[in-house]
Amino acid sequence: MKKLAIRVDGNRHIGLGHVFRCLHLAEYLQGCGWESTFLVLQSSLESGIHRFFEDQSFDFVPVSRPDDIWEQDHEVLRRALGQGDFDAVVLDLIQPDKEDDDLNSNTEFCPMDVQACLALIRSMGIRSLAISDRFEPVDLVADVVVNTCPAQRAEWYEGSESRFCVGPRYYFLPTSFQGLRHTAKVFREDRPHIVVFCGGNDHRGFTPVVLDALATLSEAMTVEVILGAATQNGEEKCLCYEKQGIACQYGVEDMAPVLFNADFVISASGNTLFDLAALGIPAAAVSTRPRQLVTAEYFTDQGCCLNLGMEHDEIATNIRLLLPDVISSRARLEAMSCAGKKAVDGNGMERVASVLDSFVSL
């Protein structure tokens, strides 16, 4: 078995998208002869993500400073990489943009110096694969850089020593979604089932805004809420929705069957939009960060999504104006379903694994 280290974090501040993306990759690579170990901050482990590693029998090692569970200890990371005898390292760490006010003003959250981490990996002679979500040109120095943002352009990186894998064709579709993408989506004849999922932590409080707007529609429907595992007081919020007669699940480990059972999903504009497109599930997108608007606009242009925006009033207005004509039309839903499958083919993991293998074998 080849050995892979995965440096990633997930918590109540940044959600769990990065962690799940890396879990999906590790699960896929396991079938390709790779053994993965996760290197994470203690704050991430205390957010509860350790159970996801344990469920899939992946080893994990904390790399925090002894006096601050939110900050990485560079020397601890060096020791972990040296003791693991790794063939490659995957680095999936958030790089806040200037618009990320919730992170930039957060005194507890400590963003990683991604360039310093990559420099350390290079100094140890280990191959690296860096994952980025930025929509502008990426300046990370790694053997392989993966960025699935639709705004990315391959021509930006012509002549680079790094191998850049950019655009939706490299999206990591979770293993549990793979079989469903070949299953034809059948929509209900009446009372469409709407799923609301506003991300791993819904830090902008979109869920109640969406539910209030849906309640004003005259169309008959059933609504189910999914609260991400990083949602603060998630269990209490779930019970509160259930008392209101709204079906709710908290911390769902496998989203594939939940999403595939929906006729329409209102989702945050992160990785879930790619999952929905690949499964042929029509969607409407709420954006938690300015850069997510790029993804929402892309899938809207592809014909499989409605862009609801990122401000509370804007989202509520767009739900009232845009949703009725879609959820009441089976023909419209079917057209959006076909458009989504054309936008995301679901083979990104295979493409990235092939590139990683080729670099490690050099």
Residue 356, token pair as written in the block? 């990683």
pLDDT higher for 3 or 230?
3
Q: What is the pLDDT at residue 10? A: 86
pLDDT (tens digit per residue) in 229-264: 878 899 999 999 999 999 999 989 889 999 999 999
**Residue 242, Cα to own-chain centre: how many angstroms?**
26
* 247/269 Cα distance (integer angstroms): 22
Q: Minimal CA–CA distance to 129: which of 358, 356, 350, 361? A: 356
Q: Which CATH code fits 2-173+347-360?
A: 3.40.50.2000
Q: Do domains 2-173+347-360 and 177-343 have the same CATH topology?
A: yes
* 139/293 Cα distance (integer angstroms): 22
The CATH T-level fold of domain 177-343 is Rossmann fold (3.40.50)
Q: What is the pLDDT at residue 230? A: 79
Identify the band that residue 289 occupies on the pLDDT scale cut at 50, 70 and 90: confident
CB distance 294 to 151 below 8 Å: yes
Q: What is the pLDDT at residue 135? A: 87
Residue 361 reports pLDDT greater than 90: no
Other residues' Cβ atoms within 10 Å of the Cβ of residue 115 = 14
Other residues' Cβ atoms within 10 Å of the Cβ of residue 218 = 6
Residues, the chain: 362
CB distance 39 to 85 below 8 Å: no
* 151/248 Cα distance (integer angstroms): 34
Its sign, for the CA torsion 24, 251, 43, 56, is: negative
Helix (H) or strand (E) holding 249: strand 247-250
Residue 101 reports pLDDT greater than 70: no
Buried b (16+ CB within 10 A) or exposed e, 178-198: bebbeeebebeeeebbbbbbb
Residue 74, token pair as written in the block? 């560079």
Q: What is the pLDDT at residue 166? A: 96
Q: Collapse the DSSP code of 331 into the 3-class scheme (helix H, G, I; strand E, B; otherwise coil) and give the result.
A: helix
Tell me the chain's radius of gyration from C-alpha atoms.
Answer: 20
Q: What is the pLDDT at residue 223? A: 97
* 200/226 Cα distance (integer angstroms): 9
Q: What is the pLDDT at residue 246? A: 95
Residue 102 reports pLDDT greater than 70: no
Domain regions of the chain by residue span: 2-173+347-360, 177-343
* 104/266 Cα distance (integer angstroms): 27
Residue 178 reports pLDDT greater than 80: yes
Report the pLDDT averaged over residues 40-67: 90
Identify the band that residue 49 occupies on the pLDDT scale cut at 50, 70 and 90: confident
CB distance 332 to 305 below 8 Å: no
Name the pTM for this structure.
0.86
CB distance 137 to 156 below 8 Å: yes
